[in-house]
Structure 1
């Protein structure tokens, strides 16, 4: 019968193990999450987030409560029979590996010898029953224990995956137990007649036990041999300290529930759990010998455990403490990394590894660290006084200024020559109160700059409109200023070729017009802002 029960539990273990290996949870808690850190550890958490302490604070973790039931038996002088027991516990993690558990267990155990015994002269219950021939020792013992246990988790620190669906742990603990042993010595008020099963009538253990069971009732009416008043009592039962060792495996169903299969072995230093402490072997048939071996008991159980507390956390024995370290190595979020230092001897923004030229401080360079020469005239932009020199005006002097040839008849330019040469110039449109150039406007100004380069003798007038209020005056000035600055700074047009006009009448307030300057028309290319406090950047 026992082998069948073990086989059944082994089958359950195999199924749960398959389930457990298939359950791999995702990552653990976030080390930056303040909601899972208790108040007493918030100073450490703050230092960690500020980078002044290397270790994150230990998070909160749930309590576990559990119930269990299973098979219970005593190992002593009388052959054991498996009976049942149940237990309840509450458990709390002290860290990722060690946790504490308070457990209560209630169980019954039975035993029955299949071999006859005749040397029972010191065993009071059988003598009191009036036996003179062979007997068959039996017992029924009720045991309760309350223990404080330490649990060592063996597999939550994992190096090759975040978590697993099962948890292996070892158990050790101490506690106290009370027990009350009874024997079935009387059939009503008279001794049993064992003559029908004594003397080797039956050839094997099974047949002998079946015959004894058919003979016995289930009364267990007589108190077994006990310590009397020599041992302390609790609730009328003998009290003894007890030690436990064992092992278990839990299989995670979800973040709240798990199943646990455990085997706990208990050491009592007491030889009367089965009601028998005398040896059957003696040099004198009437003088039993006191045995020196102590009884132990074992509880093999299957339990259901429930985690109580916030859903955002779980007991630490399910958490892999390496998860945070691995996540920071792969994707740093809280780790303080040193700023990379890349040598740049000339300070031009291009590291020495890719720099093809060591340039003086402040010289504009291209992506290879070579001095920039926008117009390709051979004079670097840092020394070029004419940033964009038309090809027809090259070669240039040492300052990058070219001398453009005068086309035939250039000395006789009339008032309409530039208007004809430049053609109709586009207007730049702004929206709302904006003073920024759109990409379309920049494209229009690029075409205007191209015409000016091809007609170096011509100038243009940049005209803004509306001046009825201070804000309109300033907005008109800002828009004309934006156009002129773009032509000078981005297109390389000399400021001397531009005339600044703003606050004019007769035009659209949201438009800046460009026109060719008439012959002899003069004007500044920059004027002070009328209302600087209203100026938009």
Structure 2
């Protein structure tokens, strides 16, 4: 019967344990930085940690856990146990996030009844000896043992630290410790008439269940006699003379608790106590010792001022701080990134294909000097920036060798005059899908555009955004992106709004804003097509 109950309890515990791992939990780590939850002794280390002088925080003050427990109790011995019950109180304190220590008191009443006829002990003045001479010194053993137990147990929490979730909602633990216990062992040796029980008529060769049923009907359940104790200076111990069997014991066990709130948790625990004694059932046979099994449900309360103490440390994952800092640094000292640009052309050295461009020279998005007419002489050196290809090759100043017809002097003078706008080709600005943010590359492109516009004050720039068909969101996103580029050129580069022409068109790449130098006129702003769909970033 007992083994079946234990299998059921273990199966239930396994199901609860499996389900508990699927629960999500919070990843709070504010307690790591909270100095109000440190003792005066630990404050120097905490201050060094907060000032980035030491990598580890100090241990915080934590609450105590007060526990109330109750449940089944059994003595496994030479005699079949009956269901007993017990309960107790405990007080637990964390030593760290894994280990804790618990002091507890537990009281229990345990019973057992045999189904076999036994011989009385020769030479021992036990409750059976003498009384059963008239029945051939044969008796059936039984007992009722009251146990008072004081324990100190060390507990190891198995699932507190984790790299896959935050604070645990379950506490799975093992325990081992020491107990000192007092046992009052009594037996039901005689009936209500004061005479020993006569077992004549009971078929001890039959089924165990039938034998136990017959014995139950015969016994009065008074447990009026002291149980006999072997290998002691005294022969009997029990309630009649208020003697107690005092023993030391080893505790082993395991349990699981479920956090209901920050103050309350419930759980179930299996604990075995081995007192290295074979007298808890009033029968000493063979060399095997008796031991106590307690399966108890627990109701635990976290006690302490929450403004000065954190939860018991087995409810806090110590990895929370580390993973939160890696994900979103708040306490770490992170140096400001340095992006060197030796020639000051707006393209960082890492991406600059021409890192020694003279100051003021117009460059493309790769940092290469612009050569508008493709004559091999960069624009900043070219005295004839728009040399016709018929006049190639050119000299070191970019001037071509074009034959001049006598009749075209006036035309030559017009061609040699500074063109109305020398900006003929500009790079496009690329956006990430759905985004309005300018990347570092996009800003470098716009910095280059601003330089060219400053060098060519007669030029305007037409900015064209795109959308797809009648898609309202696409049309508004195209407008937002053109507006973002114009805003950057005006506010960050000081370009006058009057030199920027706002344009929106269907059919191009929606993630692109094209820029083109021009002398034509046009609006520097147009109304947002669908303001209700306007994005902020």
Instruction: Bin the TM-score by the shorter chain.
Output: 0.5 to 0.7
Q: Cα distance, 1:366 vs. partner?
A: 7.3
Q: Is the CA contact 1:69–1:301 (under 8 Å) kept in the aligned structure 2?
A: yes
Secondary structure in 2 aligned to 1:206?
A: helix
* 1:221 is aligned to 2:220: no
In the alignment, which residue of structure 1 is the partner of 2:101? 100
How far, CA to CA, are the matches of 2:59 and 2:346 in structure 1? Answer: 44
- 1:523 maps to what in 2? none
SS at match of 1:195: coil
Indicate which of 343, 351, 360 corresponds to 1:354. Answer: 351
Show the counterpart of 2:484: none
1:170: how far off?
0.6
Q: Which residue does the alignment assign to 2:298?
A: 303
The DSSP-based 3-state class of the residue aligned with 1:326 is helix
Q: Within 2, Cα distance between the matches of 1:213 and 1:39?
A: 64
| 2:210 paired with 1:207 | yes
Q: Retained in 2: the 8 A contact 1:16–1:251? A: no
- Distance, in Å, in 2 between the alignment partners of 1:242 and 1:73 is 16
Matches within 5 A, 1:236-275: 236-275=243-282
Question: Aligned runs of 1:101-140 on 2, under 5 Å?
Answer: 101-123=102-124, 124-131=126-133, 132-133=135-136, 134-140=138-144
> Equivalent residues in 2 for 1:342-421 (5 A)?
342-346=339-343, 350-359=347-356
Which of 149, 152, 156 is matched with 1:152 structurally?
A: 156
* Partner Cα distance (1:235, 1:38) in 2: 48
CA 197–364 in structure 1, closer or farther in 2 if over 3 Å, else same: farther
Q: How far apart, CA to CA, are the structure 1 residues paired with 2:363 and 2:201?
A: 113
Give the counterpart of 1:322 among 296, 316, 319: 319
Counterpart CA distance in 1 for 2:13 and 2:49 is 42
2:49, 2:334 → 1: CA distance? Answer: 14
1:43-93 CA-partner distances (Å, limit 9, x unpaired) = 212111211111122223221111111111112222222211112111111
The Cα of 1:16 is off from its aligned counterpart by: 3.9
Partner of 2:41: 40
Counterpart CA distance in 2 for 1:243 and 1:357 is 79
Q: Deviations over 1:113-144 (max 9, x none)?
A: 10111253244211143444321011111111
- Pick from 151, 172, 177: which aligns with 1:173? 177
Residue 23 of structure 1 corresponds to which residue in structure 2? 23
For the residues of structure 1 that align with 2:81 and 2:185, how far apart are their CA atoms? Answer: 13
Q: Name the residue aligned to 2:9.
A: 9
Using the alignment, how far apart are the partners of 2:495 and 2:337 within structure 1? 37
Unaligned runs of 5+ in 2: 371-377, 382-413, 419-456, 459-492, 497-537
Which residue among 182, 186, 210 is the counterpart of 1:182? 186
Is 2:45–2:54's contact at 8 Å kept on the other side of the alignment?
A: yes
Alignment TM-score, normalising by the size of structure 2: 0.62
- How far apart, CA to CA, are the structure 1 residues paired with 2:250 and 2:343? 76
Judge conservation of contact 1:348–1:359 (CA < 8 Å) in 2.
no
Q: Larger Cα Rg: Structure 1 or Structure 2?
A: 1
Partners of 1:268 and 1:295 within 8 A in 2: yes
- Report the count of equivalent residues: 377
